[in-house]
């Protein structure tokens, strides 16, 4: 039997008996049987029994504290630091009812001092353990020399697994940081996209407002152009009207002058006819009384001139 020193536990993967020999790890990936048995102290006679968790792996019997059973069955990993390792090569297994337990198992080894005494809880478990111990004992005793090598191999594999685990954790941490960085970049891009979308929306609103203002300005310009055309047309009409009024006024002035000239000629003729009379300077009213038609024409001309002058003033004011 070989005992390992106390150290931190390293775990190796466990698999059932159905695994094939093609598995990558051949020394730590298969166990043939495991369970809790009663155990008497090895190497010295004692009636004290204690419960231990046993594992048969290849041609070795490994045992642990009973608490290891729960961890083993829940995690499917077994501790590579057992309390002891017993080589089973060439062992002789027998049942014994005189050991103080009803389902005792006695294991004798040719080169092992003392007797290994175990006990199962039931007869069925006793038969199962005895058969597996006997089968494992068929392996040559040379396996005894591999006890320490097996522990060292388990420890080495445990260290390798710990190293691989650390490398995996480091890689996972790097990937986590990278993903976190990518997530931060994605969130920043999303924020920028939102800002750009908001700016785009505002720009589109400004464009729509400018287009509306442009349309309104175009309408105003069209209206102004029409108004200017209308004003130009009215101005042209007023100019024509002014010219016509001026022409009419000039014509009336000429007509008035002709009437006055005619009146003057008639007045002169009348003076010549009335030479020597008491009336030396007849008044204009008397002359007009003598020619009412001319007087009426002059009044009509003056009225027409007043009307035309008023229309001209109004046209010029426009």
How does pLDDT run across 151-170, given as a tens digit for each residue? 778 788 888 989 999 999 99
CA dist 296 and 291 (Å) reads: 9
Structure tokens that stand for 235 in this block: 């101005």
**pLDDT, average across residues 1-20:** 37
The pLDDT score that the predictor gives to residue 139 is: 65
Residue 96, SS3?
Answer: strand
Q: State the pLDDT confidence band at 234, using cuts at 50, 70 and 90.
A: confident
Bridge partner residues of 201 (DSSP): none
Q: State the pLDDT confidence band at 13, using cuts at 50, 70 and 90.
A: very low
The pLDDT score that the predictor gives to residue 81 is: 85
The pLDDT score that the predictor gives to residue 143 is: 54
Per-residue model confidence as pLDDT tens digits over 166-198: 999 999 999 999 999 999 999 999 999 999 999
CB neighbour list of residue 308: distance below 8 Å, 6 or more residues apart: 245, 248, 249, 252
- Please determine, for residue 258, whether its predicted confidence score (pLDDT) is greater than 70: yes
Alpha-helix runs per DSSP H in the chain: 68-75, 123-137, 147-273, 284-290, 292-317
Model pTM? 0.40
Structure tokens that stand for 184 in this block: 């931060």
Q: Contact 180/186 with Cβ under 8 angstroms? A: no
| Residues 204/206/208/214 CA torsion (nearest 10 deg) | -140
> Residue 117's closest CA among 44, 176, 183?
44
The pLDDT score that the predictor gives to residue 187 is: 94
More confident residue, 307 or 17: 307
CATH, domain range 11-139: 2.30.29.30
Structure tokens that stand for 58 in this block: 């290849």
The pLDDT score that the predictor gives to residue 163 is: 92
Q: State the pLDDT confidence band at 120, using cuts at 50, 70 and 90.
A: very high
- Please determine, for residue 237, whether its predicted confidence score (pLDDT) is greater than 90: no
- Please determine, for residue 264, whether its predicted confidence score (pLDDT) is greater than 60: yes
């Amino acid at each position: 039997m070989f005992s390992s020193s106390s150290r931190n536990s390293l775990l190796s993967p466990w698999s059932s008996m159905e695994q094939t020999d093609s598995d990558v790890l051949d020394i730590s990936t298969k166990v043939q049987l495991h369970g809790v048995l009663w155990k008497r102290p090895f190497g010295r006679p004692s009636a004290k029994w204690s419960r231990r968790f046993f594992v048969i792996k290849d041609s070795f019997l490994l045992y642990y504290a009973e608490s290891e059973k729960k961890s083993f069955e829940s995690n499917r990993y077994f501790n590579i630091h057992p309390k002891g390792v017993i080589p089973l090569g060439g062992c002789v297994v027998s049942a014994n009812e005189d050991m103080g337990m009803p389902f005792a198992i006695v294991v004798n080894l040719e080169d092992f001092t003392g007797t290994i005494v175990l006990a199962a809880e039931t007869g069925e478990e006793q038969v199962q353990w005895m058969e597996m111990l006997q089968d494992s004992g068929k392996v040559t005793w040379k396996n005894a020399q591999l006890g320490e090598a097996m522990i060292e191999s388990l420890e080495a594999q445990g260290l390798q697994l710990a190293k691989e685990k650390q490398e995996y954790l480091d890689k996972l941490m790097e990937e986590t940081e990278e993903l976190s960085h990518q997530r931060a970049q994605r969130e920043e891009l999303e924020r920028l996209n939102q800002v750009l979308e908001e700016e785009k929306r505002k720009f589109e609103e400004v464009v729509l407002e400018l287009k509306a203002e442009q349309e309104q300005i175009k309408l105003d310009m069209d209206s102004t152009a029409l108004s200017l055309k209308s004003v130009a047309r009215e101005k042209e009409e007023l100019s024509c009207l002014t010219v016509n009024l001026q022409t009419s006024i000039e014509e009336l002035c000429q007509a008035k002058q002709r009437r006055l000239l005619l009146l003057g000629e008639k007045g002169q003729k009348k003076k010549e006819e009335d030479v020597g009379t008491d009336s030396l300077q007849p008044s204009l009213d008397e002359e007009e009384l003598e020619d009412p038609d001319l007087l009426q024409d002059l009044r009509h001309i003056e009225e027409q001139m007043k009307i035309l002058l008023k229309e001209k003033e109004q046209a010029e004011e426009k």
